[in-house]
Structure 1
């Protein structure tokens, strides 16, 4: 609950970002001074403040501080990156090229998850994981710095008059509320927020619980520890490969149809998994991995419709400059609570069936509950997203649909 409230408060910083003149330069600075803080927050949970005993209140405080610090710095850096995407790369072709480069970088970094799992025996050996985490943090800071300095070459040159436009001055809260109301009156944004909320919920659900489900539902003689690490790593490596492979499809069919197909695919995989049952270990492993890959890959594309909605808002209200930060801030305000809700709701459901208890009599019920969750949650989310996405009308030019 604390993290959910904290996440919502973080998104209010969007107004202060958008109230600066020379907005692009300000967002470059956000990445530059936010990057070291982001990496410190990344390292914070992996270094205990002392040796914790069971039930130690300090361990709870450590976890709470770590989660809130990481969420704050992630919001700062990620929001600035998203806004730079929308404001620097204004054409659909340049945005697709940016997505491609971004996925190549993610693909290069993704094997670190697999290696960390193998080196630390799936985080069972924390001292072996800690030096690896430090190396990853240093490389991440260096990458952010070099990336920002390179992006400066693509920043649009703006006149003094445009820098002092009404949209980028320090606005009173009444004007901010009025602008937010204008943005939220748009049907397409509301539909996108609903769809993206469930996408974030689904992604968080699988990221946090896939290995727990695999440990409980798939015997170790069927899927040994090394293969489990590969399975988990594939959930982070394969999405980047899939997005890169689908670049030609994105240009031909547009992101709208590709995202819609992804909803149908994960719904179909859930039905197949439900029909085959939890004893079909091979297909259970395969379907879990497929759903994880599809969810992560489609999530990588969601910046494209959001950027198009910023363009549509600019044209509809005849603004002098795009309200990129405010739109991304509203998106985060409505979708980030899903990151906190998913673990709470799923863990509450598992605890109801005896998760964490040593009572072996309830293990069958627990496994049935886990299997139902990994089948019914993706299926239910897919059905909702299909219904909502079919009503969405702001599409790229490739979709041959005129933007309102």
Structure 2
């Protein structure tokens, strides 16, 4: 029986194992996104100053840790030639899998730190956010980098991304499950639920990474044996081409000349500023559906990418978001059902686009390798540099959301004054005040997507890594992978 189980595990394809890592992240991260603010505001009673200080520090950390961890991860690859060592692709994959096998379980443990009060609310909020995001960043960077390292062709990367979306959709079911356990007055059952999720995530990371490492360890050993044979046959023992270790300043200078990267980062900043903003008021089912629908919809988007290309599909999504927002604006705030559909579709298309953009970043990794003639792609580092520019939008979202809520409704979620609550309740029964509030929130709801869609279309029109140029980049990288690292004599 045990042999049969191990045989089934080893027969699982690389794409399925790679995609399953998304499941072990999403089952935790979706619950985190849904409950962490409510937990600290409603359960731990964090004060307003501590919340804003924590979010501000988190904004800085959230932006800087991606390029920091990316540089730490890929620096050895960029300077590998100076030591005369040729790092093969299986060795790169093994290094990323080793990082995932260590930080994946630590990420799950940091998730648990939110749901037990162990310090003053302000201090715990700051420490938990930074610790959680640090481990999440390492996991995301290495997982996303594997997308560029495991495959070069667009079809293979689309297949890998397809499995990520499928498993992410399964992981989003934890949001629906959480409704049965969430209770602000009795937090014990929710804590037990979170412990069960974390245990499942730890086990999943350990098993999936171990299976993948076993698979690529054999390939790495084979490459090492071939390299040793080639060195023995090398004429005159000619050393590898010497290349200086690339400094961070030199890398940033190279990146500043990467035009497609700059346009993509500008577009993606707007994308992250829009996401996760406006779904909490639509009811528990619509909220839960908004977490799972982007991944299911992305399965269809990926099939379109295989047919028309990622660039074209993303452009269609921007146009669709703009058209739907204009239609909602013309329909007005009285169309309740249309408004609910619009809110859900806005999140679906926004999150769906974010998932597709990993394919674009993988293409940017290829272009960066070809443009700068690197021996090994700096996959994690480039993903980290994209996040440096775009992640502030994610952190600004709750800050802007709470500020706009206070401006348009006069309702401060941190307000503890009972007298102010009585006055606010009396104002809500005023029809004129309620009409003004409703109209203001509606315009906020539709004008933000319209503005973002317009800016994204403007930036996306300048992005040139598609069509013939993308095909040329792919061919150059594939040919580089097939070249031998040293010269051998004819026998």
State how 1:338-349 maps to structure 2 within 5 Å: 338-349=393-404
- Of 169, 178, 183, which residue of structure 2 is paired with 1:116? 178
- Of 430, 443, 446, which residue of structure 2 is paired with 1:372? 443
Structure 1 residues 165, 77: CA separation in 2 closer, same or farther (over 3 Å shift)? farther
Unaligned runs of 5+ in 2: 1-55, 78-90, 231-238, 413-419, 428-432, 475-491
Verify the 8 A CA contact 2:317 2:349 in the aligned structure 1. yes
**Partner residue in 1 for 2:199:** 138
2:298 counterpart of 1:243: yes
2:346 counterpart of 1:291: yes
Secondary structure class of the residue paired with 2:275: helix
**Partner residue in 2 for 1:128:** 189
**Partner residue in 2 for 1:20:** 76
2:211 counterpart of 1:150: yes
Verify the 8 A CA contact 1:19 1:168 in the aligned structure 2. no
What is the CA deviation profile of residues 132-185 of structure 1, one whole-angstrom value per residue up to 9, with x for unaligned ones?
2111111222222233233332576455699x989999x46xx22112210221
**Partner residue in 2 for 1:316:** 371
Structure 1 residues 124, 81: CA separation in 2 closer, same or farther (over 3 Å shift)? farther
Secondary structure class of the residue paired with 1:28: helix
State how 1:29-178 maps to structure 2 within 5 Å: 29-49=98-118, 58-120=120-182, 126-152=187-213, 153=215, 157=220, 171=245, 175-178=247-250
2: distance between equivalents of 1:167 and 1:7? Answer: 36
2:423 counterpart of 1:352: no
Verify the 8 A CA contact 2:314 2:353 in the aligned structure 1. yes
Unaligned runs of 5+ in 1: 51-57, 215-227
2: distance between equivalents of 1:343 and 1:166? Answer: 50
2:324 counterpart of 1:269: yes
1: distance between equivalents of 2:241 and 2:441? Answer: 53
- Aligned pair count reads 374
2: distance between equivalents of 1:4 and 1:202? Answer: 16
2: distance between equivalents of 1:165 and 1:184? Answer: 28
2: distance between equivalents of 1:383 and 1:134? Answer: 43
2:457 counterpart of 1:386: yes
- Of 328, 342, 345, which residue of structure 1 is paired with 2:383? 328
What is the CA deviation profile of residues 2-57 of structure 1, one whole-angstrom value per residue up to 9, with x for unaligned ones?
0111113312122111123643332212111101211112122122227xxxxxxx
- TM-score when scaled to structure 2? 0.70
Structure 1 residues 376, 89: CA separation in 2 closer, same or farther (over 3 Å shift)? same
Verify the 8 A CA contact 2:105 2:206 in the aligned structure 1. no
- Quote how far apart the aligned CAs of 1:245 are: 2.4
- Quote how far apart the aligned CAs of 1:65 are: 1.3
2: distance between equivalents of 1:168 and 1:268? Answer: 51
- TM-score when scaled to structure 1? 0.85
What is the CA deviation profile of residues 55-96 of structure 1, one whole-angstrom value per residue up to 9, with x for unaligned ones?
xxx112111111111111110111011111111122211101
2: distance between equivalents of 1:19 and 1:334? Answer: 20
Verify the 8 A CA contact 1:197 1:334 in the aligned structure 2. yes
List, as ranges, runs of 4+ consecutive aligned residues in structure 1 with deviation greater than 6 Å. 164-169
2: distance between equivalents of 1:176 and 1:34? Answer: 24
**Partner residue in 2 for 1:53:** none
Structure 1 residues 168, 117: CA separation in 2 closer, same or farther (over 3 Å shift)? farther
Structure 1 residues 316, 242: CA separation in 2 closer, same or farther (over 3 Å shift)? same
**Partner residue in 2 for 1:229:** 284
Verify the 8 A CA contact 1:310 1:322 in the aligned structure 2. yes
